[in-house]
A and B are shown apart, each in its own frame.
Chain A
Amino acid sequence: MSANNVLLEVKNLKMHFPIEEGVLFKRKVGDIRAVDGISFDIRQGETMGLVGESGCGKSTTARCIAQLYKPTAGEVLFQGEDLCCATGRQLLQGRMNLQMIFQDPYASLNPRMTAGAIISEPLVIYTKRGLMSMSRKDIEKRVEELMEKVGLSRYFINRYPHEFSGGQRQRIGVARALALNPKLILADEPVSALDVSIQAQILNLLKDLQEEFNLTYLFIAHDLAVIEHISTRVAVMYLGVIVEVSDSRTLYKNPLHPYTRALLSAVPIPDPEVESKRQRIILEGDVPSPDKVRTGCYFYDRCPNAMPDKCRDNIPPLRQIENDHHTACFLYFNP
């Protein structure tokens, strides 16, 4: 791994949310360990896919990177600068290059603002704070340009979010994220709420924009097929930890971790002939609650290949198995 083209580096990131009890005198009785020590990097120009089931900490990771949550521990190095220690102006400057697209296009747009106002808001804020200087005319021109870029007619500039369909709203969200010309976009399930035909439109749009503006994406989704389509590298999360990281082709061809294998085999394929021949690994039980301190492998309770002597009392570290293919499983190395 060459260090010079790394755009973002996450080191041992932890995000624990306290569980409190009592009404007047609150006391802490435990922690939800949403993200429990993850490390990865994102390189310039790539699309890093982050995949996992609900509650595995994907979105929390993205929010920690954008400093919407203050992480409990760990570092988020964006272009070499630790965002966790950054304050005020420094953070504002960092975020200029780091924007988010959210899952729910209904909840992430203010219903009282017009499309134009939503897209121009980042420009207006950064101008007000003196980090940019754009006149009102410039901003208006920039908004129109952005709208055309994401495939919205410029005549929609004075419309309100409820006048748009789900796919068009997501386009507004994309335009807002692009407004400041960021380097990295954190896309948190940007297509999960959309119908398949619209989903394809947005995926194509994101790919085109990436080429045009040389963007880097952290792309979060629970749909493995979507991740396969868009990502160059993929990280699989389970219960707050990363269990496997690899370039996307290798991961899908040769998944190493038992959880990745089960996940891949559970995805239905839209072809009855393939479907009738497939062997499924069906996992027993549910994802356990993340409120316990774990001393063994996080996947131990559900793993079809669990080895009690190794996996119960040792936490497997993420280790490189082949070239650029990392996994955290004792099937491939000894504790």
Chain B
Amino acid sequence: MDTEVILQVKDLQTYFNTDDGIVKAVDGISYQLHRGETLGLVGESGCGKSVSCLSVMKLIPSPPGRIVGGQALLDGQDIFRQSPAEVRRIRGGRISMIFQDPMTCLNPFLRISTQMVETIRLHQGLGAAQAKDKAVDMLRLVGIPNPAKRVDAYPHQFSGGMRQRVMIAMALSCNPEILIADEPTTALDVTIQAQILEIIKKLSRELGTAVILITHDLGVVAGMCDNICVMYAGRIVEKAPVNVLYREPKHPYTQGLIKSVPRLDRPGKQRLHSIEGQPPNLIELPDVCAFHPRCEFAMDVCRRKYPPETALDGRMVRCWLYEENK
């Protein structure tokens, strides 16, 4: 892709102080997001997918969390160096976010209209009446029936799928350049999931919004994304265009992950491949490959040093299997 880079995350490190020691939730991840691109962040619970995106929005609760190092360049400007007032303008205006559970993100005491108008007025400087018209338009765009009436409803009057639509409408109401979707369909049923994914896909294309899609579901990513970053224990272990990654996963973790999902289009009763063992505890993790205790190809060097980034035609992998100078 030759289009312009809109967000560049460089060597981001986010640590949490706990009673048991420092948890390195995100430990040096870098990626680029181009205009109009959909980037998938995949990994299991606790691998740092959400924390990495919350860091970019500067939404890490501090203490206990802190962004220890790295940069997040939005159009060349480092978000971490900006004043709180400037960051507030970015949040919701240029980068907006939707979450897994829409009920905890909407204020149950306020009408949908109040919540949407607040955002729109703040970021776009419209008058109250205009802002409300805009809110109704956005609700229509995400497919809420009878939006002029429903805009004055309270969150509990919507179903789960409808609430997620409201969240999408709210997030896109200020024409953000980047939409971060953190497990947007995990709490929803498959038929509703299909509706929501379709909306995100269609609107991001129409409005030219770049999307970062965080999910643990490899199926969702396959249909939605251009590029994928696979994360494990706070680092990106593999980064590749979506077609290449599924056809030929390089990192043993990615290979295991893809093989361990039962597939509808390949029926059969054969044993599932499973990755033995558990994901590591992130407290005081030594600087070696975090996957080596579960890896079938583990070598001596894996237990000594963390593998560097290895570039393999258009993709990146962090594994000693592909590194020449060990």
Contact = CB atoms under 8 A, between A and B. Distances in A.
Interface in B256-298: 256-258, 260-265, 267, 269, 271-276, 278-279
B243 to A, nearest CB: 5
Given A200-B260, A200-B273, A201-B276, A271 B159 contact: no
Among A165, A198, A273, the most chain B Cβ lie within 10 Å of the Cβ of A198
Contact of B219 (A252, A263, A270): A270
Interface stretch (B80-88, B99-107, B170-178, B193-201): B193-201
B275 A200 contact: yes
A95 B195 CA distance: 42
B1 interface: no
Interface stretch (A60-68, A127-135, A279-287): A279-287
A168 B258 CA distance: 22
Contacts of B195: 282-283
B267 A267 contact: no
A196 B191 contact: no
B274 A204 contact: yes
A85 interface: no
Given A195-B216, A229-B262, A273-B243, A267 B274 contact: no
Contacts of B275: 197, 200-201
Contacts of B220: 268
Contacts of B258: 270
A195 B42 CA distance: 12
Interface stretch (A11-19, A20-28, A118-126, A219-227): A219-227
Given A229-B272, A252-B264, A195 B45 contact: yes
A266 interface: yes
A204 B263 contact: no
A55 to B, nearest CB: 9
A201 B274 contact: yes
Nearest to B192: A286
Contacts of A168: 278
Given A225-B261, A267-B264, A286 B190 contact: no
Q: Give the size range of B's interface with the partner.
A: 35 or more
A207 interface: yes
Contacts of A269: 219, 222-223, 263-265
Contacts of B264: 224-225, 228, 252, 264, 267, 269
Contacts of A266: 190-191, 193-194
Contacts of B221: 270
A249 B260 contact: no
Given A197-B256, A204-B272, A228-B264, A271 B222 contact: yes
A54 B274 contact: no
A226 B267 CA distance: 11
A53 interface: yes
B246 interface: yes
A44 B193 CA distance: 35
Given A270-B258, A283-B194, 6 more contacts: A53-B192, A197-B260, A266-B193, A267-B264, A268-B193, A270-B222
13 contacts: A53-B189, A197-B44, A197-B260, A197-B274, A200-B272, A203-B272, A226-B262, A229-B262, A265-B194, A266-B190, A270-B221, A275-B222, A283-B191
